[in-house]
Amino acid sequence: MFKILLDSPNVGELEKKYLNDAVDSGFVSTYGPYVTDFENRIAELLHVPCTVGLQSGTAALHIALYECGIGPGDEVIIPAITFAATAHAVLYVGATPVIVDVESDTWCISPSATESAITSQTKAVIPVHLYGNPCDMGRMTQIAQANNFFIIEDAAESLGSKYQGQYTGTLGDLGCLSFNGNKTITSASGGMIALKDPKRAEHIRYLINQSNPGYGFDNHGEIGYNYRLTNLSAAMGLAQVERVHSFLNKKKDFFQIYKKHLSGMPDVFFQAEYPGAENSYWLTAILLPFHQDVDRVIHQLKDKNIPARRFFNPLNTFKFMSGFCQGTLKNANDIYARGICLPSSTLNEAEGIEHVCDVLKELIT
Shortest Å, Cβ 107 to ligand PLP = 12
Residues in region 325-364 near ligand PLP by CB under 6 A: none
Taking residue 359's Cβ as centre, other Cβ atoms within 10 Å add up to 17
- Which of 8, 30, 58, 96 is close enough to bind ligand PLP by CB under 6 A? 58
Helix, strand, or coil here: 365?
coil
Residue-by-residue DSSP string for 305-317:
T---EEPPPPGGG
- Which of 111, 191, 237, 352 is close enough to bind ligand PLP by CB under 6 A? 191
- Of the candidate spans 116-124, 154-162, 167-175, 336-344, the one that interacts with ligand PLP by CB under 6 A turns out to be 154-162
178 binds ligand PLP (CB under 6 A): yes
Residues in region 85-114 near ligand PLP by CB under 6 A: 85-86
57 binds ligand PLP (CB under 6 A): yes
When the beta carbons of 262 and 316 are compared against ligand PLP, the nearer one is 316
230 binds ligand PLP (CB under 6 A): no
Residue 89, CB half-sphere, CA atoms under 13 Å: how many? 29
Q: How far apart are CA 191 and CA 194, in angstroms?
A: 10
158 binds ligand PLP (CB under 6 A): no
96-100 and 75-79 beta bridge pairing: parallel
Q: How far apart are CA 199 and CA 229, in angstroms?
A: 20
Shortest Å, Cβ 282 to ligand PLP = 9
- Of the candidate spans 50-58, 162-170, 217-225, 272-280, the one that interacts with ligand PLP by CB under 6 A turns out to be 50-58
271 binds ligand PLP (CB under 6 A): no
| Alpha-carbon torsion (132, 230, 85, 143), positive or negative | negative
The residues, any chain, with a CB within 8 Å of residue 111's CB and separated by 6 or more, are: 136, 139, 140, 143
- Which of 52, 77, 128, 342 is close enough to bind ligand PLP by CB under 6 A? 128
Q: How far apart are CA 31 and CA 17, in angstroms?
A: 19
Closest CA to 82 of 125, 124, 128: 128
Taking residue 174's Cβ as centre, other Cβ atoms within 10 Å add up to 28
When the beta carbons of 93 and 262 are compared against ligand PLP, the nearer one is 93
When the beta carbons of 11 and 262 are compared against ligand PLP, the nearer one is 11
When the beta carbons of 86 and 170 are compared against ligand PLP, the nearer one is 86
83 binds ligand PLP (CB under 6 A): yes
| Alpha-carbon torsion (45, 50, 55, 60), positive or negative | negative
Structural contact between residues 66 and 58, judged by C-beta atoms closer than 8 angstroms: no
> What phi and psi values does residue 153 have, to the nearest 5 degrees?
-75, 135
Shortest Å, Cβ 311 to ligand PLP = 11
Taking residue 78's Cβ as centre, other Cβ atoms within 10 Å add up to 29
Shortest Å, Cβ 121 to ligand PLP = 23
Structural contact between residues 186 and 192, judged by C-beta atoms closer than 8 angstroms: no
- Of the candidate spans 151-159, 240-248, 258-266, 287-295, the one that interacts with ligand PLP by CB under 6 A turns out to be 151-159
Shortest Å, Cβ 138 to ligand PLP = 21
By CB under 6 A, name the binding residues for ligand PLP. Answer: 56-58, 82-83, 85-86, 128, 154, 156-157, 178, 180, 191
